Amino acid sequence: MLSLLLIILAATFFTGIIIRTKSIASGRKGPGIFQPIKDVIRLFKKGAVYSETTSFVFQIAPTIYFASVFVAMLVIPFGQSKGIISFNGDFIFFAYILGIGKFFSIIGAMDTGNSLEGMGASREALYSMLAEPAFFILMGSLALLTGYTSFQAIFSALHLGSSISYALAVMAAFVFLMIAMIENSRMPLDDPKTHLELTMVHEVMILDNSGFDLGIILTAGYLKFAIYGAIIFNLFSGTIAYQYAIPMFFGVQVFLAFVVGMIESFMARFRMNHNAQFIVVLSSVSLLIFFGALLVSGKFL
């Protein structure tokens, strides 16, 4: 329950901080950090335009997408306190429930009959397929390291003792951050600020959404960032008491948002055909973590 509230709170400012960092880095003052939320509220007040090509799929797709992110959020623990849903292997449920959201966002895009949206949908499907193994290998390694298979048990048993395990945690944080970037179609893969539909991934899929639907799609994106931020926080939190953990949680979220902002400011988008290679690299990093986990648990040969 605690994690749910904290993630929602973090989601309100996460994207705002990214945008603010980017604008400061490029010498502008930039909007306030709650601007994204204000945008969403404005969208909720607006009417909507639906394409005559679309069917009921287009109507329900944003809702299901949001619901999937929301339910995925319920799985995430906060330090010692469990998420609302917690069981052995809940990280599988987490990945698959996000999967159904993706499925609907893809077919929602295809429902419009727009070729560019189809293009985005095809890319989204491919990239998320390529990114999933990295997540699973990573979680599998953490399960191996701790001997548990649910988010909460893994994270509370994750003691960062040796220098190897610190290195593993840092690598894991990197992989999670990159997965978050892929999930949200952010910089190294996709430029959310581009104006050319041909080079978009996520942005082009939601070209036809408007009003309430667009609002919840954007909100889902903010939540996703905060969810992965919470996972990364959990990697390091261990068993500290709440009065330290909660400020640390927000500290980690702000720091991650800052890092994302810096990456986006100082890095160019990859060429489309390099994206696949980049995502597969993530799986290799996860494999490194796996071998590290083998070393730590003394099972290496």
Partner 1 sequence: MNSAWSFILIPVIAICFIPFLKVGVKAIAVYAVVSFVAILTSFVAIEALLGHPFNYTLPGSYISGPIRLQIDALSAWFMLIINFGFLTGGFYGLFYMSAYRNQPKNLTLSAILFVLLHTALISLCAIQNSFVFIVAWEIMALSAFLSILFEHEKVATVRAGINFLIQSHVSIICLIIGFIWVASQTGSYDFNAIHAYSLTHPGALSMQLYLIFFIGFSIKAGFVPFHTWLPYAHPAAPAHISGIMSGLLIKIGIFGILRMLLLIKVDYLSIGILILLISVISGVYGIMLAILQHNLKKILAYSSVENIGIIGIGIGLGCIGLGTNNPILSSLGFAGALLHTLNHSLFKSLLFFAAGNVYQATHSLDIEKMGGLIKKMPHTAFLFLLAALAISGLPPFNGFISEFILYSGLLNMIHSASMVSLLGIIFTVTSLVAIGGLATICFTKTFGVVFLGNPRHNFQHEVKEVSQFQLLPLYFMATFIVLIGLFPNVFLDILVSPVKLFTDLQQLPFNSFRGEGIETLTLVSAGGLYFILVILLLLGIRKLVLRKRMTSVSSTWSCGHIAPTAKIQYSGSSFSRTYSKLFAMFFQINKIEKDVQGVFPIDAHTETHIYDKVEKWLIDYPISSLKYFLSRFLFIQNGKLQFYILYGIAFIIMALTIPLIYHQIILFIDFLKLL
Q: Does 100 bind partner 1 (CB under 8 A)?
A: yes
What angle do helix axes 242-266 and 211-237 make, rounded to 10 degrees?
120
Q: Does 194 bind partner 1 (CB under 8 A)?
A: no
Q: Does 276 bind partner 1 (CB under 8 A)?
A: yes
Q: Does 278 bind partner 1 (CB under 8 A)?
A: no
Choose among 15, 27, 184: nearest CA to 98.
184
Q: Does 93 bind partner 1 (CB under 8 A)?
A: yes
* Shortest distance (Å) from residue 124 CB to partner 1: 9
Is residue 179 within 8 A of residue 131, CB to CB? The reply is yes
Choose among 187, 219, 184: nearest CA to 205.
184
Quote the tokens at residue 47. Answer: 């009417």
Question: In whole angstroms, how far apart are CA 133 and each of 38, 91, 221, 257?
Answer: 36, 13, 21, 25
Q: Does 202 bind partner 1 (CB under 8 A)?
A: no
Q: Does 3 bind partner 1 (CB under 8 A)?
A: no
For partner 1, which stretch binds (CB under 8 A), given 9-17, 34-42, 63-71, 250-258? 63-71
Indicate the length of the chain as a whole number: 301
* Shortest distance (Å) from residue 209 CB to partner 1: 10
For partner 1, which stretch binds (CB under 8 A), given 23-31, 85-93, 179-187, 252-260? 85-93
Binding mask 121-150 for partner 1 (x = CB under 8 A): xxx-xx-xxx-xx--xx--x--xx--x-x-
Is residue 239 within 8 A of residue 156, CB to CB? The reply is yes
Q: Does 81 bind partner 1 (CB under 8 A)?
A: no
For partner 1, the closer CB: 89 or 247: 89
Give the residue, chosen from 13, 66, 151, 228, that forms a contact with partner 1 under the rule CB under 8 A: 66
Q: Does 74 bind partner 1 (CB under 8 A)?
A: yes
Q: Mapping DSSP to helix (H, G, I), strand (E, B) and coil, where does residue 278 land? A: helix
For partner 1, the closer CB: 119 or 175: 119
CA separation for the pair 106, 122 (Å, rounded)? 8
Q: Does 216 bind partner 1 (CB under 8 A)?
A: yes
Q: Does 207 bind partner 1 (CB under 8 A)?
A: yes
Give the residue, chosen from 27, 52, 161, 243, that forms a contact with partner 1 under the rule CB under 8 A: 52
Is residue 206 within 8 A of residue 109, CB to CB? The reply is yes
Cα first-last separation, the chain: 42
For partner 1, the closer CB: 21 or 68: 68
Q: Does 290 bind partner 1 (CB under 8 A)?
A: yes
Choose among 30, 37, 33: nearest CA to 16.
33
Q: Does 75 bind partner 1 (CB under 8 A)?
A: yes
Q: Does 30 bind partner 1 (CB under 8 A)?
A: no
Give the residue, chosen from 48, 164, 267, 281, that forms a contact with partner 1 under the rule CB under 8 A: 48
Q: Mapping DSSP to helix (H, G, I), strand (E, B) and coil, where does residue 89 land? A: coil
The site for partner 1, by CB under 8 A, has a size of 86
Q: Which helix (H) or strand (E) is 168 found in, with range?
A: helix 163-183
Binding mask 9-28 for partner 1 (x = CB under 8 A): --------------------
299 φ/ψ angles, rounded to the nearest 5 degrees: -105, 0
Q: Does 67 bind partner 1 (CB under 8 A)?
A: yes
CA separation for the pair 29, 76 (Å, rounded)? 35
